[in-house]
Amino acid sequence: MQNGSNIHSGQFPARVYYVESPQDDTVTVAIDIILEKYTGKNMFIWFDTSHERRMIASEIHKNGDSFSFIRDNGYEYFFEPMNISIYNSKVRPTGMDGGDFDNDDELIAAFLKTIEDAD
């Protein structure tokens, strides 16, 4: 899919995503993603547990509940709904360790709390 034709703000199936980019190792988590138009282009906005990120996408691809986009600089970003399995295998090894969780709801609640803690 290109230019956000089937994905827009309010249509993200999850509030918290694991983010991966082969070119950008500073991304790991995206919370409450918004997609909006900015000067005629698709801009993704999200909170990453410490600050807001904004990126303009030149291409957007959707695959079930997951999606990806490519920035004008060629960097690719892949988004997958967060769950305990992804958290334990991909997030914790990066050093972002928020502890142990009994279920996905507890995990998501902990990530959402980072928005409150940042205020």
The amino acid that residue 71 corresponds to is R
Phi, psi of 63 (to 5 degrees): -140, 90
| Residue 3 located in a structural domain | no
Distance CA 27, CA 72 (A): 17
- pLDDT at res. 55: 96
| Residue 4 located in a structural domain | no
| Residue 108 located in a structural domain | yes
**pLDDT over 90 at 59, yes or no:** yes
Which structure tokens are listed for 59?
Answer: 């291409």
Cα distances (angstroms) measured from residue 83 to each of 18, 21, 38, 97, 115: 9, 18, 31, 14, 18
Give the residue numbers spanning the domain of 75.
16-118
Which structure tokens are listed for 13?
Answer: 């199936």
Q: Which residues pair with 41 in a beta bridge?
A: 38
- Interval 42-66 mean pLDDT: 93
- Interval 36-53 mean pLDDT: 92
- pLDDT at res. 107: 94
- Count the alpha carbons within 13 Å of 57 in the hemisphere toward its beta carbon: 26
| Residue 10 located in a structural domain | no
DSSP state of 102: S
Phi, psi of 108 (to 5 degrees): -65, -40
| Residue 72 located in a structural domain | yes
**pLDDT over 50 at 5, yes or no:** no
| Residue 8 located in a structural domain | no
**pLDDT tens across 78-117, in order?**
999 999 999 999 998 887 777 889 999 999 999 999 888 7
| Residue 9 located in a structural domain | no
- pLDDT at res. 10: 57
**pLDDT tens across 9-32, in order?**
557 889 999 999 999 999 899 999
- Structurally, how many domains does the chain consist of? 1
